[in-house]
Structure 1
Amino acid sequence: MDYDQFLTIVERGGGATGVGADRSTAATLQTLAERISPTEARHLAGELPPELGPLLFTAEPAEGFDVDEFIRRVAERGDMDLPTATRAASAVFTALSRALSEREFAHLVAQLPKDFVLVLPTGPEILPAGAFLERVAQRAQLHDGDASRVTDAVLQTLAERIAAGEVDDLISRLPSPLHDPLRAGRSVDADQAQRMSVERFLARVAEREGVTPQEAFVHARAVMTTLREAVGEEFHDVVAQLGPKYAALWSG
């Protein structure tokens, strides 16, 4: 995940209301650096976009304040009221949950007291990458390594077929290991999507995988069915951009 994508998640999470996603992010991460150990702060910085690293720099031991003090400090740093600071902190923690590995985010949460549930993500859970690939493997009768390759091919082709804004929405609902193929296929024009019949879609998947179109159909169906489960209602927005013949890839 890059810096702009991180800020986009903060903005969509309601953390930029009247103050800007960059200001919300800075206020929250600087306060977080005061609440966690220097070692944990360094680990976080190592997995986040480089622009965010300086915000987490600290040589001081962790302070043991509660969530109310956390929000008060965010509000003071960001020059915002407490309700806005609460939304800002929640949005930044949501972005952290998307940007960090599952293990690192779990380590972060473990350093925080239970009252931080007020600002920790409570929305739809992100299906872990391992679970996503396992479902693809089961549906297409593949080994795990092959499931990763198949998933990359289908997601990259899908990203070429739909608008860039919709690709960004999918990125926000999927785990980090699945982001690269979506970014690879994403158009530089935010409103541009390639016109592509389902036959051409499958031919492109087959070409990327080095398999027959018939095998590509089985693989694409496994990935698209799993994608529908993983992103919930967001899948309806994807479907709206595809022709009716594409329904064979996830229905029936």
Structure 2
Amino acid sequence: MYLSPLQLSSNSQILMSGDVVVNEGAAIAPGVILQAEPGSRISIAAGACIGLGVILHAREGTLSIGAGVILGAGVLVVGAGTIGANACIGAGTTLINPCIDQMQIMPAGSLIGDTSRQASVEATAAAPTAAPTSPETPEATTPPVAPPIEPPSPAQTPPQTAPETTPDAPESTAAEPPQPGDTPTILYGQAHINRLLGTLFPHRQAFNRSEENGQTLSGDSG
């Protein structure tokens, strides 16, 4: 917590308002404000040391400062309560309805008695303690198992018939297209052989034609 540097008060007087009782052995610095609302009281015991710029505001009861208490500069005390003997309150501390034990030391810049902040702190502290709820996991579903397929009984199995055989068909140049799974039957005729020879030996046709032309010419000359 950042504490701004304390400014020296130019007011050397001590302001007292309401029912305020200060022991002769108490030391009070300049600029101190002691204010008690109607029906309230401020009591400062002997040996107490009230620092520069301290404000004591009693309300709804009595605010008692025990013997030997040290209040640092800029301390603010509001409400009703007790600061035990020989307690030491650091500079810039704020006490609301204080209940400080004897010989207790409060660090500078502390804030004690603020119930509004304490409630929020308790709520935030209780939040992590709650067990986190885990998301519900969907139940594992097993896929339906199909019943096993039983083999057909001999009574239900239809009798197998032998394939019918057909007489050999006469050879034809136009062969039927082979059925799937059947081995094609290749028929080689004279016309097929002539076409194959013509494809493989194209010069043979020209040679045959020249021979035919020579025979024709020789026949004509006779």
TM-score by length of 1: 0.20
Structure of greater Rg: 2
Output the TM-score relative to the length of structure 2. Answer: 0.22
More helix by share: 1
Identify which of structures 1 and 2 has the higher relative contact order when contacts are C-alpha pairs closer than 8 Å and 6+ apart: 1
Whose strand proportion is higher, 1 or 2?
2
